[in-house]
Chains A and B, each alone.
Chain A
Amino acid sequence: MIVDLKYFIENERAIWEELDKTLTKFENEPRSRLTLENAQRLHYLYERTGAGLIKITTFAAEPNLVHSLETLLARAYAEVREGRSRKEKFSISVWLYQTFPQTFRKHLRFFIASLALTILGSLFGGAAVGFDPDAKAAIAPFPHLLEDPAARVKEEESNVNPALARSKGRFSAALMTNNTRVSILALALGTTWGIGTVILLFYNGVILGAIICDYVRAGQSVFLMGWLLPHGVIEIPAILIAGQAGLLLGQALIGWNSSENVTQRLRSITGSLVTLITGTSVLLVWAGLVEAFFSQYHEPVLPYSFKITFGLMELAALAFYLTAAGSRGGNVSGDKSSRL
């Protein structure tokens, strides 16, 4: 049987045009909701157009017509066959008090791995500088870290009005953006089956360990804590959470202990990755503000005891937030699978 093409097009054109119009409306208003009648009508239009495409490809061939129907059906398919539910309206408070901490806890073992890698790197960096002080030159990423710690402390403490005083805002913005960029890199390197993230976390640990060892050896532990703790207790966990996301991505690509294919595994963690990296960015904004407006002031302007206490309080608050917030609420972490 060969289709009477002209008659067929004349008969079906209205259906195709109605489907096109409905889809265009949907595309222009993504948040619009369909009534039951509209949904049934859309489904009917989709199936009728599908049947038309089968007919036209089986019994006739008009390439342009086939192509236009395929395009129309592809658009309709996305709307009709979408199995994933539309999420409820986004709420900052729900995200902050439930989604982020729950997601963090759900993938806690990747955070622990991230922490372990950083500690391992720190031990390596500390040992390297401890046994060979000249190694500092190879490890330190910034020139000011090459200075003698005692000399730097003396300089900082004698400078009551630090050089950064007039550019705190700029400094803070630079810290936020740079750290966020590093965090995104830690996540993105998860695409190397996690190897890139492992290297990044280890290297960050090496730098941290080298600095700590250098200042401790010079007898400047109190200055170091007063300098690093206020912003470091937020900044370092933030980078670790980005690493957690990177390792989660790496594990999804590798697929240990999972019967799902790589597409399913990746699909199941996409929401978590976005939540973790967004949480990291929020923490880094706070860390950037503290580093620029608080950490750079030393004794006699701000007593070290006050800075250390402030840092420890921040750490306790962060630990409480990540481990306890949202534990009584429902699970809103958003991913389908918890196996990963």
Chain B
Amino acid sequence: MPLIIRRLERTDRREQFDCGDGPLNDYIRRYAWQNQEAHLVGVTYVGVESDHPQTVIGYYTLAASSIPTESLPRDAVSHLPPYMVVPVVLLARLAVHSEFKGRKVGPALLGDALGRCADIGLHIGCRYVIVDAYQTAVDWYSEYGFIPLGGAAPGAKTQKMFIDLRTVEHGRKTQ
């Protein structure tokens, strides 16, 4: 069944969403809509099948962020654009309903997210996508070219990774 990926709508059925991870389930069931429409802290895109167009089978959330240039080592700053901050897009969450695992929904969502980030990047001058991945998902993101960053806080359950949007743009042109 063809997968449709679009922005989350109020009428989407997401209360049954279960990816096997409590916080990711809670987010789409309880917070995603409010965060998108009321609090403006993330825009969620959902995957639905064409025969059940309101039932969420996967989702991802994007938000904008930035890294203050002054917090980066001086020798690295000379290679970056001459602004006070480095704009980045945060891929805040990505999850797939357990029943749909192994059906390439995750890769489809990631491809859509990165393509969307590249489009945004072309318009607003953003260069990097950051993801704060569960340790169990690090290999999965690495397969698509995300680079793990060293120096996580002691006891951190997640691993920060990034991908350069020029790599994504190159990937789009390679097809």
Chains A and B form a bound pair: no
- B interface residues (Cβ-Cβ under 8 A, vs A): none
- A interface residues (Cβ-Cβ under 8 A, vs B): none
